[in-house]
Structures are given as structure tokens and as C-alpha cells.
């Protein structure tokens, strides 16, 4: 069992740290929020008063933070964690951030002989709590293999996309596609409804036809069609519009960096920006249905 420092105990990090404790690991946790630390303590983590204190003596340093700027601030510079970690440490960052940012931190770690991987996740708070996340990893194969036992305590899939930063690239490609097929699904259901076709019936037909996709299969955006989907719970829970908007921003920045054309991703981001500006940022992302239905 490993001694793990866990930095960032929010909606995702809190339950992930709890799953590490349940798997028998020793977890020293830190978050700027006292409330998040108190929850982690109840779950069996030891709470540290700083990221550096949490990392002291740890075999593995794990982070689950909101942005690339914060990840860089935590690891880099004179006060950053890398400066004080022994080169036996394995660093795993599961935050969703730009690939460029992940590669910057990886390069600094690599220069010090510290192993690091990027391991953003697919799956929201429910998957973090159930321990069924998918980790999409970038880094050296041996380093991902070393991280695997710890990642498997929090998820059901550990996949390697390529070298450092590739995990972040694969994650935003996936989420860009998710946004596009969710909007397309919502648009088709709204069109059918406008012509009097019951959305539940139309969903069954499209599921048996070539329009079949994940949004239709497990996450139908039309209220009442799928009992357990966020759409049937007033779009509460699930994956927030704010986070989808963030991920689409990362996807577009990545496209711009390589001169790639992502017209559907750009349109999806504009639609989610409008939806967010209308006050829906904290609703599940399938609530884009209400925008298409009303129009």
C-alpha cells in the first residue's frame, strides 16, 4: 500500500481520496477549503496544513485541481512542490488542463528525475464516488504502469493515449465529441417533437437506427424519457455546463495551437456559452435541450 499526498479535495477529489483510503492506502490530504478538508478527514484521510506538508514523505503525489494556472502554481517555482520532492516520487495530475500546461510541469519534473503522468478523467462526481472513473493517461508507459494500482482504486479503466500531455489531448477530444453529439441529439428530439413525434418513441427509433449514440443510450436529454438521467431530475447532478464550457475552451485552444479546424466544436462552445450566460452554468450539460426546445 502506498503513502499518497492528495491535493484538491473538491467535488471530484474528495470522493477519489476517500476511495484510496477504502483501498487501504495512507492518504495525507490538502485543500485550501477547510470544509473540503473536514470531509476528507471524516473519510479517513490525514489532513495537512499545506501542499508541501501533505507531500512530505509521500510515495505518490496526486492532484485534482481546477485549472492549469493552479496546477503550475502548485508544482513549479521556488515554492512549488517539485523543488522539494525526492526523485523517487511519482506525480499524477488528474486535473483537466491544457496539454501545454501538463507538458510544462512534466518537463520540470523530468529535469529533476521525478516521474510524472497526466491522467485526466472521464466520468463525473457519480463515477468518482463509485470508483468507476476512466483515467486517460499521458506519459511514459512504465510510469503509467507504476500508477496503475492506485488509479484502479478510483476507476475501472486506465488507458494510455501517448506521451506527456496526450492524456489531456484525448480527454478534450472526447469531451468535444460528447458536446457535439449531445447537441445533435437534443436538436433531433426537438425537431421530432415540433412535428408531434413523441421524444420517447423517436429515441427508441434512433437507438435502433444510425443516429444511435451515447447521449441517446444512457443520457437522454429530454425530460422523462430516461428515469435516471439528469434531464428527469431538472438537470441536477451530472456534468455541469460550466465544466463542459471549460473543456470546449481547452479544445478550441488546442485546435488553434495546431491550426486545426474544429467547426463543430467551435459551434458547440458558442451554444454552451449562450446557455451559460442565460444562468444555466450549474445545470447538467444535457440541459442544452431546453435552449433548442424553446427556440
At residue 61, what are phi and psi to the nearest 5 degrees? -110, 125
**Nearby residues of 6 by Cβ (< 8 Å), 6 or more positions away:** 13, 16, 17, 20, 27, 28, 29, 30, 40, 45, 54, 62, 63, 64
Q: Are the CB atoms for 188 and 203 separated by under 8 Å?
A: no
User: In this structure, how many other beta carbons lie within 10 angstroms of the beta carbon of residue 139?
Assistant: 29
CA separation, residue 272 to residues 5, 110, 177, 246, 255 (Å)? 35, 37, 14, 10, 18
Least distance between ligand NAD and beta carbon 68 (Å) = 9
Least distance between ligand NAD and beta carbon 151 (Å) = 14
Place of cell 447537441: 183
Query: Which of residues 192 and 230 has its CB atom nearest to ligand NAD in the complex?
Result: 230
Query: Which of residues 161 and 190 has its CB atom nearest to ligand NAD in the complex?
Result: 161
User: Is 171 marked active-site?
Assistant: yes
Of 153, 118, 129, 134, the closest CA to residue 12 belongs to 129
Least distance between ligand NAD and beta carbon 241 (Å) = 11
Least distance between ligand NAD and beta carbon 50 (Å) = 9
Query: Which of residues 94 and 289 has its CB atom nearest to ligand NAD in the complex?
Result: 94
Which residue minimizes CB distance to ligand NAD? 10
Least distance between ligand NAD and beta carbon 29 (Å) = 9
| Beta strand pairing call for 121-122 and 115-118 | unpaired
Query: Which of residues 171 and 203 has its CB atom nearest to ligand NAD in the complex?
Result: 171
CA distance 203 to 16: 34
The 3-state DSSP class for residue 7 equals: strand
DSSP 240-276: BHHHHHHHHHHHHHHHHHHT---HHHHHHHHHHHHHI
Query: Which of residues 39 and 226 has its CB atom nearest to ligand NAD in the complex?
Result: 39
Catalytic residue among 41, 156, 171, 233: 171
Q: Which residues make up the interface to ligand NAD (CB under 6 A)?
A: 7-13, 30-33, 36, 51, 64-66, 70, 74, 95-96, 121, 124-125, 239, 243, 246
Residues belonging to the active site: 171
Amino acid at each position: 500500500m502506498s503513502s499518497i499526498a492528495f491535493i484538491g479535495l473538491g467535488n471530484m477529489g474528495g470522493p477519489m481520496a476517500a476511495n484510496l483510503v477504502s483501498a487501504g492506502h495512507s492518504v495525507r490530504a490538502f485543500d485550501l477549503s477547510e470544509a473540503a478538508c473536514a470531509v476528507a478527514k471524516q473519510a479517513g484521510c490525514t489532513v495537512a496544513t499545506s501542499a508541501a506538508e501533505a507531500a512530505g514523505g509521500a510515495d505518490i503525489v496526486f492532484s485534482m485541481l481546477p485549472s492549469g494556472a493552479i496546477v503550475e502554481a502548485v508544482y513549479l517555482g521556488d515554492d512549488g512542490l517539485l523543488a522539494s520532492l525526492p526523485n523517487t516520487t511519482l506525480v499524477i495530475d488528474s486535473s483537466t488542463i491544457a496539454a501545454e500546461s501538463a507538458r510544462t510541469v512534466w518537463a520540470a519534473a523530468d529535469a529533476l528525475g521525478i516521474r510524472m503522468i497526466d491522467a485526466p478523467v472521464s466520468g463525473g462526481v457519480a463515477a468518482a464516488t463509485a470508483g468507476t472513473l476512466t483515467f486517460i493517461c499521458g506519459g511514459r508507459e512504465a510510469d503509467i504502469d507504476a500508477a496503475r494500482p492506485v488509479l484502479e482504486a478510483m476507476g475501472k479503466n486506465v488507458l494510455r493515449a501517448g506521451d506527456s500531455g496526450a492524456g489531456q489531448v484525448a480527454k478534450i477530444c472526447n469531451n468535444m465529441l460528447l458536446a457535439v453529439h449531445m447537441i445533435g441529439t437534443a436538436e433531433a428530439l426537438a425537431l421530432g417533437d415540433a412535428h408531434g413525434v413523441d421524444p420517447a418513441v423517436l429515441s427508441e427509433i434512433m437507438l435502433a437506427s444510425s443516429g444511435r449514440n451515447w447521449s441517446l443510450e444512457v443520457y437522454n436529454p429530454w425530460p422523462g424519457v430516461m428515469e435516471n438521467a439528469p434531464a428527469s431530475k431538472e438537470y441536477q447532478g451530472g456534468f455541469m455546463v460550466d465544466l463542459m464550457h471549460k473543456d470546449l475552451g481547452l479544445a478550441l485552444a488546442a485546435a488553434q495551437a495546431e491550426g486545426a479546424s474544429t467547426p463543430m466544436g467551435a459551434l458547440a462552445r458558442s451554444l454552451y456559452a449562450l446557455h451559460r450566460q442565460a444562468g444555466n452554468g450549474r445545470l447538467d450539460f444535457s440541459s442544452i435541450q431546453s435552449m433548442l426546445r424553446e427556440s
